[in-house]
Amino acid sequence: MQIQPASLAKFNRDMDKYNKEVHTGVRREVQRAAINVEREAKQNVSNSDLLGTRSSVKSSIFRKILNKGYSAVVRSAHKASVYIEEGTKRHNITPRNAPYLHFKVGTAGSLKTGKFTKSQWVRTKLVRHPGTRPDPFMGPAYERVKPDFIRRLKKIL
C-alpha cells in the first residue's frame, strides 16, 4: 500500500478542518451552557431578592492554554450568596463596635392590605439567630442545564 503525498496533505487539511469545527462547536456549547446556567440561576433567586443577588450572577468562558480545552465559570459576586445557597446554622449575634445591638422589629405587613404591625426599636447585647434554610439557586441551575449540554457535546463529537 502506498500513500500519495497529495492524499496525505488532503487528509491533514481535512483533519485540521475537523479539529477547528470541533473546537468551535465545543466553545460555542460551553458558552451556551454558561449563559443558560446564568439565566436559570437568576430565575431561581427568590422573588424577595432584597440583597441584589440576582444582578450579581455572571458567567465567563475561559480557554485553557495547555490542552486547548474550554471552561466556564458562573458565579454570584454577592457576599451573601453562599448563605442563601447553603443556608446558615444557629448562631449568636453580638455587638462588635458598640455596647449594644440596635435595630427595628415588627415591620411586617402587606402593601396590598395596607395593614402593618407597629414597629419598635430594640437594644440588646445578644440575638440568638435561628439560622436560615438553604434557598439554592446555582446548584439547581447547573443540574437543569447539564443534560442538554452533555447531549449537545455528544452530537458535536
Q: Give tens-digit pLDDT for 49-62.
A: 667 888 888 888 77
pLDDT on residue 5: 64
Question: How many distinct structural domains can be found in the chain?
Answer: 2
Are residues 76 and 23 both part of a single domain? yes
Mean pLDDT of 39-48: 84
Cite the beta strand spans of 7-154 per DSSP E: 57-63, 70-76, 91-93, 101-105, 120-124, 127-129
Are residues 1 and 56 both part of a single domain? yes
Task: Give the pLDDT band (50/70/90) at residue 70.
Answer: confident
Tell me which of 150 and 66 has the higher pLDDT.
Answer: 150
Q: Give tens-digit pLDDT for 105-139.
A: 876 666 566 666 677 888 999 999 999 999 999 99
pLDDT on residue 114: 62
Query: What three-state secondary structure class fits 42?
Result: helix
**Rounded-to-integer distance, Cα 122 and Cα 102, Å:** 6
pLDDT on residue 113: 64
Boundaries of domain holding 154: 1-87+132-157
Are residues 24 and 99 both part of a single domain? no
Mean pLDDT of 3-7: 64
- Which helix (H) or strand (E) segment holds residue 152: the answer is helix 138-156
| Model confidence at 92: pLDDT above 80 | yes
Are residues 127 and 141 both part of a single domain? no
pLDDT on residue 149: 95
Rg of the Cα trace of the chain? 26
What is the residue-averaged pLDDT of the chain?
A: 84
